[in-house]
Amino acid sequence: MVIDRFVDDYDKVAILIAYCKIMILKNLRRQSIIGATILALGIFAAQSFSDGKEAKTSGSPAHRKAFIDGTGQGWRELTGEDFVNVNCDLETWTWDGGHGSCTGKPVGVIRMKKPIRNFELVCEWMHKKHAGNSGVFAWASPASIEKLAAGKGRLPDGIEVQVLDLGYETNWERSKGKPSDWFTSHGDVFPTGPAKMTPFPPVAPNGKRSFPSKRLTKGINEWNHYYIRAINGEVRLWVNGEEVSGGTNCSPAEGYLCLESEGSPIEFKNIRLRLLP
């Protein structure tokens, strides 16, 4: 009987020990899971901070996306009524509301009625011919516009945002046997005439033209989207939703906004403007 009781007590102790082992293992497992989770979250947070810091310091394109559609407070649509012919023919530009069609001939510009300083502009453009050329002028100087209106010259002095078809580069490479090192078809920004600008990198060999950091332009008969921000002498360009080029220390930093006719048919639509302080 004593032996039986001892066996019963031994079984109870064994069961108790086994139970304790199970609880200890469960707690250890739970702590391991919690610890692993905390560790993973810590690594993720650290990586996110590191990535964010790196992107912020390096100007990662992922942090420069801004597909602005030109809607919201302060934005308005531009139509043919907002532009004045400077040195094009009367039939060079035709308008259907906010949709402008340009024959490209002769080379010249149309301008807004009044000079502007700080602004945001969005527009869509589409070349209708291989290797087409055009542009948007920010801050074209009034003096150069007066000369053009008097029949002297073809294009104004100011800051030009290039609107160039992919075929322009293709033709150059075919004729020269090598890629161009002084222009691209993907949103160059540069000063014309006596105008000045400190270009953002990458910079053309002549030190004046800001080359795009990415090649995002679409070909003929496809719509491209430009968002141009011009503030206090600084111009930045987004092509199809990503910032690619621009410059600062622009002179002039005020003037006419112009659309360019330069030899081939092109269309503009959804031209929207917001004036800034």
Q: What is the mean pLDDT of the chain?
A: 84
Question: In the structure, what pLDDT confidence band is assigned to residue 127 with cuts at 50, 70 and 90?
Answer: very high
Contacts of residue 156, defined as CB under 8 A and 6 or more positions apart, other chains included, come to 86, 109, 137, 140, 141, 144, 145, 148, 192, 193, 256, 258
Asked if 103 and 31 sit in the same domain, the reply is no
Domains contained in the chain, number: 2
Task: Report helix, strand and coil shares of the chain as percent, to nearest 5.
Answer: 30, 35, 35
Q: For 148-173, what is the mean pLDDT?
A: 97
Residue 65 lies in a domain: no
Asked if 186 and 132 sit in the same domain, the reply is yes
Are 200 and 210 within 8 A, CB to CB? yes
Asked if 106 and 150 sit in the same domain, the reply is yes
Asked if 144 and 222 sit in the same domain, the reply is yes
Residue 24 lies in a domain: yes
At 64 the pLDDT is 74
**Rounded distance, CA 75 to CA 8, Å?**
88
**Rounded distance, CA 177 to CA 182, Å?**
15
Q: Which residues of 64-91 are buried (b: 16+ CB within 10 A; e: fewer)?
A: beeebebeeeebeebeeebbeebbbeee
pLDDT tens digit sequence for 210-240: 999 999 999 999 999 999 999 999 999 999 9
pLDDT tens digit sequence for 144-156: 999 999 999 999 9
At 210 the pLDDT is 98
Asked if 83 and 54 sit in the same domain, the reply is no
At 47 the pLDDT is 38
Determine the structural domain holding residue 175 and report its residue range: 76-275
Asked if 9 and 90 sit in the same domain, the reply is no
pTM > 0.85: no
The CATH number that applies at residue 185 is 2.60.120.560
